[in-house]
Amino acid sequence: MSFRLLACSFLLAAGCAGKAAYLVSPALRTAADPRVAVLPFDNQSTDIGAPDVMRKLAEEGFAKRGYQPLPAEEVDAKLASLGVSEGGQLPGVKPEALGQALGVDLLVYGDVEDFTFQNLGYLIRKAVVLRVKVVSAGTSETLYEGSGSGKDIKVFFNSDQAKAAFVEQLAVKLVQNILKTPLKKEAETAADKALGSLPRR
């Protein structure tokens, strides 16, 4: 398969992606306590910094919608007492135990399914995919679940344009990494879409 055909396949796949599905329980709309504990996010991507970036954006998203996220430092300190330091360990702890340790009923789980910056010269692909779930600590019921993606795919068939874009995007990535804002636009879009149907307080 030629590179140009491969690039076109990427574009076709991106264009065929379906809309994210959401689940919203009536119990979330009637929850008396607006406080939420945004737990450490799990990471399916190859970027080790992705969970922290997306967790912070999720905290901001909940706050914009009227919820009151507990400070991440407070959440992490209380999780440490349960032996939890990363998102991948959370399935081994019951929501009830998490709720008791954190003092809230609304627990926010997150999974970073993609966090990619590919610069192949003729093809530049940026992709972020986030799945978010709100669970009641008291009942273990999933009250909300949504996913969102942010993508930017560019294909260059002219070699001079491809070379220029390659150098430009290397510089962009370097600056974003220094400022700790990798894939900023795509990450913000993914987080916003993942919380797109979250009921406002």
The pLDDT-based confidence of 81 (bands split at 50, 70, 90) is very high
Q: Are 108 and 40 in contact (CB under 8 A)?
A: no
The pLDDT-based confidence of 125 (bands split at 50, 70, 90) is confident
Mean pLDDT for all residues in the chain: 84
What are the chain's domains? 21-194 (3.40.50.10610)
139-143, 151-155, 158-162, 194-198: segment of lowest average pLDDT: 158-162
Predicted local distance difference test score (pLDDT) of residue 188: 96
Predicted local distance difference test score (pLDDT) of residue 96: 97
Instruction: Look at residue 18 and tell me whether its pLDDT is greater than 90.
Output: no
Instruction: Look at residue 8 and tell me whether its pLDDT is greater than 50.
Output: no
Pairing of strands 106-119, 35-38: parallel
Predicted local distance difference test score (pLDDT) of residue 6: 42
Q: Are 38 and 108 in contact (CB under 8 A)?
A: yes
Mean pLDDT of 105-124: 88
Bridge partner list, 136: 106
The predicted model scores a pTM of 0.80
- Number of Cβ within a 10 Å radius of residue 14: 14
- Number of Cβ within a 10 Å radius of residue 46: 9
